[in-house]
Amino acid sequence: MAGMVIISCKKDLGVKPDVAALNIINAAESVPQAAVNFAATNLIYANEMSFVPYQSSLKFSLPSGNNQVNIISSADTTRTIFHGNFNIVNGGIYSLYISGNVAKPDTVFMKDNIPYYPTDSLSGARFINLCADSQPLSINLQGSSQAEFSNIAYKKIGAFKSYSAVTNVTNNGGYNYEIRDKSGNLLTSFNWNPIVYKNYTLVISGLVGDGSISVFPVNNF
């Protein structure tokens, strides 16, 4: 596969392009690296070909309007994981989640509305279920029987929920979440130590069947 090539933005003196943000998240267990290519000549702060490792994300700034996105897997470059066009608006913030596997890829695309915490010492979190063989999931804090997020089916995402991010919380390790199936069985746990005023999507990936289910954070700022 060709290496990464940096290309400059298309310059028109005195004209500033409208810009939108796209965050691409790789939650497909069998895709060690998702190779992302934008079929455009006027990319802004983006590479001709960029690579997103499993359980990580990469942000792009793109011109508003129509953008063509092509994604293949480093594990099998003959298979296209995703090919599509997005019409994005100036100032918009978008997320494209890759799930499933190379043989049967899946994606979730959304326009994000990110909360803003101007004064309180808060941080925001939400969960998305990208575990393809799971039942709807519920998430509780360790030591509590009350669900923080409930009935999150595959490819569904919960709303942001605010949490205290004061020093005595972060200095003591933050929050410990437990992810459970419909019967209440514990599937995995995850520790989240927030940064004040910031928002995170906590991505549930892997598979229940092979015991690979786990959680990784995506920064939404």
For residue 70, the domain's CATH number is 2.60.40.1430
Residue 187, domain extent: 122-219
Position 50 in a domain: yes
85 and 129 inside one domain: no
Q: What is the 3-state secondary structure (H, E, C) of the chain?
A: CCCCCECCCCCCCCCCCCEEEEEEEECCCCCCEEEEEECCCCCECCECEEEEECCEEEEEEEECEEEEEEEEECCEEEEEEEEEEEEECCCCEEEEEEEECCCCEEEEEEECCCCCCCCCCEEEEEEEECCCCCCCEEEEECCCCCEEEEEECCCCECCCEEEECCHHHHCCCCEEEEEECCCCCEEEEEEECCCCCCEEEEEEECCCCCCCCEEEEEECC
Where b means 16+ CB within 10 Å and e means fewer, 181-193 reads beeeeebbebebe
88 and 127 inside one domain: no
CA atoms within a 13 Å half-sphere pointing along the CA-CB vector of 110: 15
User: CA 145 to CA 125: how far, in whole Å?
Assistant: 19
Residue with tokens 């011109």: 63
Position 98 in a domain: yes
Bigger pLDDT: 4 vs 39: 39
pLDDT of 144 strictly over 90: yes
Q: What is the pLDDT of residue 162?
A: 96
Tell me the pLDDT tens digit for each residue of 85-101.
999 999 999 999 999 88
Output the average pLDDT for the chain. 87
| Final residue belonging to a domain, choices 111, 136, 163 | 111
157 and 198 inside one domain: yes
106 and 127 inside one domain: no
80 and 161 inside one domain: no
Position 200 in a domain: yes
104 and 23 inside one domain: yes
Domains: count for the chain? 2
Question: Any idea what the CATH number is for the domain that residue 165 is in?
Answer: 2.60.40.2890
Tell me the pLDDT tens digit for each residue of 57-92.
999 988 889 989 999 998 888 888 899 999 999 999
Position 107 in a domain: yes
86 and 131 inside one domain: no
Closest CA to 113 of 92, 88, 96: 92
105 and 126 inside one domain: no
Position 40 in a domain: yes
Question: Is the CB of residue 161 less than 8 Å from the CB of residue 146?
Answer: no
pTM equals 0.87
| Distance linking the first and last C-alpha atoms of the chain | 31
198 CB-contact burial (10 Å; exposed 0-12 / middle 13-18 / buried 19+): middle
Q: What is the pLDDT of residue 103?
A: 79
| Final residue belonging to a domain, choices 78, 111, 144 | 111
Closest CA to 71 of 49, 46, 55, 100: 49
pLDDT of 217 strictly over 60: yes
| Final residue belonging to a domain, choices 111, 131, 158 | 111
Q: What is the pLDDT of residue 10?
A: 42
189 and 147 inside one domain: yes
30 and 49 inside one domain: yes
Tell me the pLDDT tens digit for each residue of 152-204.
999 999 999 999 999 999 999 999 999 999 999 999 999 999 999 999 999 99
Position 3 in a domain: no
CA atoms within a 13 Å half-sphere pointing along the CA-CB vector of 203: 25
